[in-house]
Amino acid sequence: MAKPPHFIRQWRLHRRLTLEQLAERIGMTHQNLGKIERFLVPYNQPLLDKLAEELGTDQASLIMRDPSDPDAVWSLWDSLKPAQQTVARRLLRSLRDEDVPVDVPPSPKPAGRQKTETNVELIRSRRRR
């Protein structure tokens, strides 16, 4: 039987807690918490409740969300200031509510001189001289 996935270790590290510190806060030995983090022992709902409270998140995030992924939507959200979160909500609502095409910005052009028609003409004219 497969062990249920979780991101308990990632959340602990994200909150800059040692195994010993978190274990003490939730009333467990660090050895047992370490076994849970390594998927050797399964977690249970009461443990998730305690962990979520101590780690400042919810139970679902402990199971589904890796806080160490800097490009994940929630990681981006957590890095925003309250005023920026307000703007982000407005942008997301407008994307949801309106059929607005989302333009993808063009990729940056490589550094150096680009061959354009003007440059080609200039090169040809110099060769003729």
Q: Which of 33, 32, 38 is nearest to 55 (CA)?
A: 33
Q: How far is residue 92's CA from residue 94's CA, in Å, rounded to a whole number?
A: 5
Q: Identify the pLDDT of residue 63.
A: 95
Share of the chain above pLDDT 70, in %: 73
Q: Identify the pLDDT of residue 22.
A: 98
Higher pLDDT, 115 or 87: 87
* Residue 115 scores a pLDDT above 90: no
Domain 1-82 coded CATH 2.60.34.30: no
Q: Which of 7, 4, 3, 18 is nearest to 68 (CA)?
A: 7
Range 95-121 average pLDDT: 62
Indicate if the alpha-carbon torsion angle 62, 63, 69, 74 is positive or negative: negative
Q: Which of 43, 34, 33, 31 is nearest to 4 (CA)?
A: 43
* Residue 116 scores a pLDDT above 70: no
DSSP-derived letter for residue 41 is S
Q: Identify the pLDDT of residue 77.
A: 87
pLDDT digits (tens, 9 = 90+) for 4-48: 689 999 999 999 999 999 999 999 999 999 999 999 999 999 999
* Residue 58 scores a pLDDT above 90: yes
* Residue 61 scores a pLDDT above 80: yes
* Domain ranges (residues) in the chain: 1-82
